Amino acid sequence: MMGDFVFSWAEDEDGKIVHVDSVPNGKLCRCRCPYCHESLVAKQGDIREHGFAHNSKDRQANLSICYKVTKVSLVNINSSGGI
């Protein structure tokens, strides 16, 4: 189920992996999904855990795959000393 995933990491305009708390809220974050490259919105409210959401009305990507692939990619980057 999609609610099980918190999408906390994304690519910024320069392709650098960034955490949701290090970018401006909403569309101002100018981030994209590391897997499908669709634009993202940073959600940094007071009730739910902070995370990114796809900003596409026409979602071309399978979102659960995006979340899982991104998580695996971040583990690989982190284990190689990248983050």
Which helix (H) or strand (E) segment is 81 a member of?
none
Q: Say if residue 33's pLDDT is above 80.
A: yes
C-beta separation of 52 from 63 below 8 A: no
Structural domain boundaries of the chain?
2-79
Task: Grade residue 32 by pLDDT with cuts at 50, 70 and 90.
Answer: very high
Contacts of 22 (CB under 8 A, 6+ apart): none
Q: Say if residue 69's pLDDT is above 90.
A: no
Task: Grade residue 1 by pLDDT with cuts at 50, 70 and 90.
Answer: very low
